[in-house]
Amino acid sequence: MSSFTFTINGKSTTVTAEADTPLLWVVREHLKLTGTKFGCGAGLCGACTVHLDGKAVRSCQTQVSEVKGRKVTTIEGLSANADHPLQKAWVAEQVPQCGYCQSGQIMQAAELLAKNKNPSREEIVTHMDGNICRCGTYPQIIAAIQTAAKG
Helix axes 121-128, 102-115, angle to 10 degrees: 130
CB 49 within 8 A of CB 95: no
Going by CATH, does the domain composed of 85-150 fall within 1.10.4190.10?
A: no
pLDDT at 24: 98
CATH of span 2-77: 3.10.20.30
pLDDT at 124: 98
pLDDT by 10s per residue, the chain, length 151: 999 999 999 999 999 999 999 999 999 999 999 999 999 999 999 999 999 999 999 999 999 999 999 999 999 999 988 899 999 999 999 998 998 999 999 999 999 999 999 999 999 999 999 999 999 999 999 999 999 999 7
pLDDT at 82: 85
Q: How many residues are listed for the chain in this entry? A: 151
Residue intervals of the chain classified under CATH 1.10.150.120 are: 85-150
Beta bridge partners of 29: none
pTM: 0.95
Single-letter amino acid code for the residue at 142: I
Residue intervals of the chain classified under CATH 3.10.20.30 are: 2-77
pLDDT at 80: 82
